[in-house]
Amino acid sequence: MSKKQVIDQTAFDLMLFWLNPDRDKAARKYESVRRRLIEVFASRGFADAERLADDTIDRVVTKVPQISVGWVGDPLHYFLAVAKMIMLENKRLTPASLPVPEPPDPEELERQDRCLEHCLELVSQDERTLILEYVDGKKNDRHSLAERLGISANALRIRVYQIKKTITPCIKECLGQEV
């Protein structure tokens, strides 16, 4: 809200009555709506989800006298529509940055490379070349690889899958991982 409007008890009571004429049911509905708004804001990456939910409710409270008379259906939908407008007004907060991963251990990289080289010896030279080109390339490169081989992209994926079926267990065993 650009200017904070004061919500008085009468306006709040009218909103509760709009939610449900039974005061206890209205209170439960209010809590349900507020919880849902918080979930919506939090799921969209807003760190101040509770404040934004309260702002949404405040805006709706000021509009209830105009909308409640002809309103048909669940009032939650109106709250969600107002929440959507509030999301557009507020910048999405950037998520907390992840810590920078530690650089890989050069000895571990060397061990993985030796395992890969060892396991690639299980397949023919053509298969070795194919798998290395496939994993090194981008999607467009893979299509041109398939064309160069005179096969469809799907046939290429199947060939790569068959090669991986041979070398993956070898790599896992070499690295000491469970197959």
Q: What is the pLDDT of residues 10-51, one digit of tens each?
A: 989 999 999 999 999 999 999 999 999 999 999 988 888 999
Q: What's the domain range around 81?
A: 9-89
Query: Looking at the predicted structure, is the pLDDT value of residue 2 above 60?
Result: no
Confidence of residue 135 (pLDDT cuts 50, 70, 90): confident
Tell me if 18 sits within 8 A of 75, measured CB to CB.
yes
The tens digit of pLDDT for each residue in 103-129 reads: 889 999 999 999 999 999 999 999 999
Judge whether 3 lies within some domain.
no
Stretch 141-148: mean pLDDT: 87
The tens digit of pLDDT for each residue in 46-69 reads: 888 999 999 999 999 999 999 988
Residues 84 and 17 in one domain: yes
Q: Which one, of 172, 176, 175, 154, lies nearest residue 164 by Cα? A: 172
Number of folded domains in the chain? 2
Neighbour-count burial of 18, counting CB atoms closer than 10 A to its CB (0-12 exposed, 13-18 middle, 19+ buried): buried
Last residue of a domain, one of 89, 124, 146: 89
pLDDT at 68: 85
Amino acid letter, 147: E
Confidence of residue 1 (pLDDT cuts 50, 70, 90): very low
pLDDT at 179: 44
Residue 117 CA to residue 171 CA, distance in Å, equals 9
Judge whether 100 lies within some domain.
no
Last residue of a domain, one of 25, 55, 89: 89
Residues 126 and 168 in one domain: yes
Judge whether 23 lies within some domain.
yes
Which residues lie below 8 Å from residue 66, measured CB to CB, with a gap of 6+?
A: none
Judge whether 94 lies within some domain.
no
Which residues lie below 8 Å from residue 75, measured CB to CB, with a gap of 6+?
A: 18, 19, 29, 33, 60
Neighbour-count burial of 20, counting CB atoms closer than 10 A to its CB (0-12 exposed, 13-18 middle, 19+ buried): middle
pLDDT at 4: 54
Judge whether 101 lies within some domain.
no
Confidence of residue 3 (pLDDT cuts 50, 70, 90): very low
Give, for 33, the enclosing helix (H) or strand (E). Answer: helix 23-43
Judge whether 69 lies within some domain.
yes
Stretch 118-145: mean pLDDT: 87
pLDDT at 85: 93
Question: What percent of the chain lies above the pLDDT cut of 70?
Answer: 90
pLDDT at 7: 79
Stretch 79-100: mean pLDDT: 77
What pTM, to 2 d.p., does this model score? Answer: 0.49
Residues 110 and 80 in one domain: no
Residue 168 CA to residue 146 CA, distance in Å, equals 22
Residues 22 and 76 in one domain: yes
For the chain, the average pLDDT equals 87
